Amino acid sequence: MTRPHSVLQVGIVGGGIAGVALALDLCRHPHLQVTLFEAACAFGEVGAGVSFGANAVRAIEGLGIGKPYERIADRTLQPWQDIWFEWRRGVDAGYLGASLAPGVGQSSVHRADFLDALAQQLPEGVARFDKRAVGAEETGDRVSVRFTDGTDYECDLLIAADGIKSSLRDYVLQGLGQPAVAPRFSGTCAYRGMIDSEQLRAAYRSAGVDEHLINVPQMYLGLDAHILTFPVKQGRLINVVAFLSDRSEPNPVWPPGTPWVKSTSQAQMLDAFAQWDDAVRVLLGCIPEPTLWALHELDELAGYTHGRVALIGDAAHAMLPHQGAGAGQGLEDAWLLARLLGDPRVLEGHAQRVLQVYDAIRRPRACRVQRTSREAGELYEFRDVQVEDREPLLSSTLASRFDWLWHHDLQSDLTAARAQLGWAACE
């Protein structure tokens, strides 16, 4: 071996789902020494329900965290277990069709519950808290990360999983000779809330609304707006997200200094959907204190790695939530990196090359998911120029447009990565 040591030191910045999942897998390998840095004083997720497609569920299983996920994940009850979403008109809740994900359906979980389940499995001493990164520097075959408390940490590889507001993304882009990329406001905001499922059921009964709309994940579509619902917390709560898009400005800007998430009034939310069906009005009427989220995304990056630093998850490809794919892409990142770094051949001087191959394999797919997530929002809100609100075409498009995303072959990615590294497949 060309390395003087038999252990590769890997630092991970960011304790969200992707960062913790990667750390968990890497910790299982004796040739890797892993340290995870989290800016907060404890692990915690902002948000509520998160949906995972079939591709993400396979990544979860491949990362060895399938069992804890299964214990807390929600699935649609039989006989609707394969339905991802039913699609309906917002103005009258009329049925447009359904998207099916056989064997998976709508697989979802509360973000905080999932992160907590993962964090409980981390070995003692791996995670360090109150460590907010501010920059990185490389010297020879080592990289150091600096923190706001004045300390630093030196390692062989640094993985930035620190989200859409990543403090390390600019280091990578600068190293690639690219301009900095800041989060961009999409022009879409989302009202969010969680409803006790029994409360919603009672409200629907009282209003004469079909309770089937609670039993199966729903997506209500309208011009410049759409609403989704699906269960979390083992069906005890219904996660509701009501999207509203302002298309009056070609380059919308969120007011500087304004929080991306803030409290709002139920009256404002109801007014935004005043012309929609009772199914929607009763639904939103069960959220007395909604929050309003300004949806930001990243432009597609020119690269995810420079030297010994790599970006994963939202730090690399933060996207709009319209395909339920953002968290899943972070897990795909973690899965591929874990398979490559977990191979002892990485000690033979391949560490930096592994990051380059990770970029070559993952970036084209993640960029496509970013792009199509944005396009999905256009489709849902009747702004797709080829589909608009033409219902037969809308229904057929929605029935099949997610297949490429869900059916992606992760193993083929690994095979391609090993080929680029000159590694024969492990027996």
Helices 326-341 + 54-62 axis angle, to 10: 30
Q: According to the model, what pLDDT value does residue 2 have?
A: 43
Task: Find out whether 316 and 338 touch, Cβ atoms under 8 Å.
Answer: no
Edge-to-edge strand order for the sheet containing 218-222? 95-100, 83-89, 218-222, 225-232, 237-245, 184-196, 291-297, 261-263
Q: Are 224 and 90 in contact (CB under 8 A)?
A: no
151-188 burial code (b ≥16 CB/10 A, e <16): eebebbbbbbbbbbebbbbbbbbeebeeeebebbbbbb
Coil/strand/helix, residue 214: helix
How far is it, in rounded angstroms, from Cα 277 to Cα 85?
A: 18
DSSP 40-101: SSS----SSEEEE-HHHHHHHHHTT-HHHHHHH-B-PPTTSTTEEEEEEETTT--EEEEEE-
The domain ranges of the chain are 8-77+107-182+299-381+401-421
**pTM of the predicted protein model:** 0.94
Tell me the backbone φ, ψ of residue 16, rounded to 5 degrees.
Answer: -85, -165
Question: Residue 380 has what DSSP assignment?
Answer: H
**Mean pLDDT, 10 residues at a time, the chain of 427 residues:** 71 95 96 95 72 91 91 87 95 95 87 87 92 95 96 97 97 97 97 96 96 94 96 87 94 94 96 95 96 97 98 98 95 97 93 97 98 97 95 95 95 97 73
Strand boundaries in 223-318, DSSP class E: 225-232, 237-245, 261-263, 291-297, 305-306, 309-311
- In sequence order, the β-bridge partners of residue 146 are 135, 152
- Residue-level pLDDT at 47: 63
Count CB atoms within 10 A of the CB of residue 325.
Answer: 27
Q: Supply 391's token pair.
A: 């219902």
Distance CA 21, CA 23 (A): 5
Contact at 8 Å (CB) between 298 and 319? yes
Beta-strand ranges (E) seen in 233-323 are 237-245, 261-263, 291-297, 305-306, 309-311
Which residues contact residue 203 at a Cβ distance below 8 angstroms, ignoring those fewer than 6 apart?
Answer: 209, 282, 285, 286
Is residue 23 within 8 Å of residue 34, measured between CB atoms? yes
pLDDT at 75: 85
Residue 52: strand pairing partners = 107
Give the H or E element holding residue 187.
strand 184-196
How far is it, in rounded angstroms, from Cα 291 to Cα 99?
28
Looking at the domain covering 8-77+107-182+299-381+401-421, what would its CATH class be? alpha beta
